[in-house]
Chains A and B, each alone.
Chain A
Amino acid sequence: MGSVLALSSSPGHQNWPFSPDPPPSHWDRRDGRLPNPGSFHSLHRSCKDVFPQQIEGVKMILNKTLSSFFKVSHTLHLSAVSPSYYRFHVEHLQSDDYSKDKDAPALIGEMDSSGSLNAHALLHLNERVRARTVFQTQQSQFVTWQFETEYRGNDFTAAVTVANPDVPRESVILVAHFLQSVSSGLVLGGELVYHRGRAEEGGILTLAGQYSRPNWVATLNAGKGGAHASYYHRANKQIQVGVEFEASTRTQETTTSFGYQMELPEANMVFRGMINSRCIIGGVLEKRLTPLPATLIMGAFVNHRGDKLQVGLGINVG
């Protein structure tokens, strides 16, 4: 369903990739029992992280950690195609790693220079149950308000989301996710979306499956709304490769993308490149400028079909 606009600092991409943690623990075994499969949204995450993010104009990000649970970041974006903005982002976490199960709230808020707000609240009700609330506005108008509850069992995850419930207009979107670890590498599940408006209502069922081995992960989502298949392969410590195929019945088109990520820790450099069936070729280079706590990002995307080029420069401080 994921129509939530991504936070500017969601984990995975913006985190420095040389984190000391090992790769995702789908295939780690805990005393012979099947592991928890994670959430439904993160099924395609490892493949998507390989692809470069589209970058345009000049972006300067200043990160400041005020205390062990309070982080602030300022973003200034000067762009040629879209209006320039200043964004203020604040995070209140009990620890810097909020993927650990701790009964502590996590509050994330982001405010734009045009007044658009993006707010997330994550609450660990107990060891297994999590609740999440998301509010998004576009200037003064609310575009998203959703409430999600997730239950993590020993080898399954179930989540229910209520999105944009609107009592006066009698419209709501209900999403139910379920993921079950069937074997040590295989995860199966499904997503049921029920949307109801004043004039229409309908349901879409999508089945999902993921097979993972230590070096690669293959994921498939198939349903009436379309199909999404992804394959992620870790060739060696430096090179990761991802292939993605998306088909949508609504827009009647398919896209195949190939992306790779090359890490050179000795040179403090990460390069991500991608090529698309829409004739889009892009590359983003990230270099950590030691000894300064700064990262320089340079990227370019070329759309050969429309003959358009987009160039971006960014610097992350702190």
Chain B
Amino acid sequence: MNDHASLSVSCVFNVDSQLTLSHPLTSPSRMGSVLAASSPNPPPPTSGGAASGLTVPPGFGMPPVIPSSGEASGQEQEDDSRLPNPGTFDECHRKCKEVFPMQMEGVRLFVNKGLSNHFQVNHTLLLSTTGDSTYRFGATYVGTKQMGPAEFFPVMVGDIDNSGSLNAQIIHQIANGVRSKLAFQTQQQKFVNWQCDAEFKGEDYTATVTIGNPDVLVGSGIVVTHYLQSITPALALGGELVYHSRPGEEGTVMSLAGRYTGSNYIATLTLGSAGAHASYYHKANEQLQVGVELEASTRMQDTSVSFGYQLDVPKANLLFKGSVDSNWVVGATLEKKLLPLPLSLVLCTFLNHQKNKFQCGFGVTIG
């Protein structure tokens, strides 16, 4: 329908203080989708724009490198005796997390404009009831080197806030099977996050090395290593090793991960000294997807269980997500495409029964 691409970029900070960059495929275009989410279903046409705040929580902020699902599915079909590529370590819990609704408040206007096959620009205006209202400008550039059927490199994504906070990422495929990423994040004029990582994708394994916030003058830095190996076509095991160093202290955190993929479900478990994270994703039928998640943190000494579901009604252009939490938080998001206009309406409500707090918001996405 559109000449220009509609690529949505969203940055989300989750509980484990990980910066996750996801590029859901919203509509196919001549430019091609650079970074398709690793889900086999078409991802929901959720609105983009950097949604949450820019504060970097203390700890380990690691943006994962997005895998290309084209490569993984291609390999699966080729030869049954060969094991498929398991995807990246950070993508393990992704399918379950995508089922949950995203919290939003105030009024949001998101305008997306494709200027050419390679360049796309977006404006976000957020009027907030609780915090400050912001305007954000973002741009995406996709290069000319073609790696797969719908993949082009390098990819440069950036956005800047009205207060001057900047998010920038450059992703490039250096060699066959090696992808690298550079990411920067500032809070107004101060750099809070700068990192570089390299991802090696083998036939049945993925290894990632990330260097975060290296500071030669102060002598601090974080190095994260991920490794994920396919043991059988359904089972993938792996681990994460985080080494952080500051003048005066240094330490490591290690966690192990396992993922089992069934015919219509995915069960993932991550265990480590920082806590445990278990998630179960189930696709009941074409319309209903369900996710259950358990998170336990040794640092904050608490656990939480969440149940979420997603109802997709493509005939009515409707997408409904609901969630219930053990923190007594009930939330729902309704998204509706208002055809024939290239307009999408999002209504969102969250109610925290324990603190008796209520939040509602709505947003319009154009383009």
Contacts and interface: CB of A to CB of B under 8 A. Distances in A.
Do the two chains bind?
A: yes
A309 B360 contact: no
Contact of A78 (B105, B106, B129, B358): B358
Given A78-B349, A311-B105, A313-B347, 9 more contacts: A57-B358, A58-B360, A79-B358, A80-B360, A300-B107, A302-B127, A309-B107, A312-B360, A313-B349
A132 B361 CA distance: 41
A308 B129 CA distance: 6
Interface in B330-367: 347, 349, 351, 357-362
Interface string B117-154: 00000000001110001000000000000000000000
Contacts of B347: 298, 313
A268 B145 CA distance: 49
A310 interface: yes
What range describes how many residues of A lie at the interface?
10 to 19
Nearest to B348: A313
A14 interface: no
A95 interface: no
A311 B361 contact: yes
A309 B358 contact: no
Contact of B106 (A298, A309, A313): A309
A254 interface: no
B133 A309 contact: yes
Contacts of B129: 80, 308-311
8 contacts: A58-B349, A80-B357, A298-B347, A302-B127, A311-B106, A311-B129, A311-B362, A313-B347
A56 B281 CA distance: 36
Contacts of B127: 300, 302, 309
Interface of A: 57-58, 78-80, 84, 298, 300, 302, 308-313
A310 B361 CA distance: 10
Contacts of A310: 129
Contacts of A300: 107, 127
A43 to B, nearest CB: 35
Contacts, number: 41
Nearest to B345: A298
A80 B106 contact: no
A78, A84, A309: most-surrounded residue (chain B CB, <10 A)? A309
B279 to A, nearest CB: 29
A180 B361 CA distance: 48
Q: Which 4 A-B pairs give the minimum distances between C-beta atoms?
A: A80-B358, A309-B129, A309-B127, A78-B358
Contacts of B358: 57-58, 78-80, 84
A191 to B, nearest CB: 39
Contacts of B107: 300, 309, 311
A91 B273 CA distance: 63
A313 B128 contact: no
Contact of A313 (B351, B357, B362): B362
Nearest to A296: B347
A301 to B, nearest CB: 10
Interface string B55-91: 0000000000000000000000000000000000000
A218 B357 CA distance: 44
Nearest to B357: A80
A302 B127 CA distance: 9
A292 B106 CA distance: 27
A309 B128 contact: yes
Given A309-B107, A309-B129, A311-B129, A78 B361 contact: no
A308 B351 CA distance: 21
A300 B362 CA distance: 10
A313 B334 CA distance: 12
A80 B133 contact: no
Contacts of A79: 358
A313 B360 contact: yes
A57 B128 CA distance: 14
A302 B128 CA distance: 10
A58 B350 CA distance: 10
Contacts of B357: 80
Contacts of A312: 360
Contacts of B106: 309, 311
A308 B131 CA distance: 9
Contacts of A311: 105-107, 129, 360-362
A291 B351 CA distance: 30
Nearest to B347: A313
A29 to B, nearest CB: 45
A19 B261 CA distance: 58
Interface string B150-192: 0000000000000000000000000000000000000000000
A84 B351 CA distance: 11
A313 B362 CA distance: 8
A298 B362 contact: yes
B109 to A, nearest CB: 11
A78 B360 CA distance: 9
A309 to B, nearest CB: 5
A310 B358 CA distance: 13
A58 B348 CA distance: 10
A298 B359 CA distance: 15
B349 A80 contact: no
B106, B107, B129, B361: most-surrounded residue (chain A CB, <10 A)? B129
A298 B105 CA distance: 14
B127 to A, nearest CB: 5
A310 B130 CA distance: 10
Nearest to A78: B358
A228 to B, nearest CB: 31
A302 B125 CA distance: 14
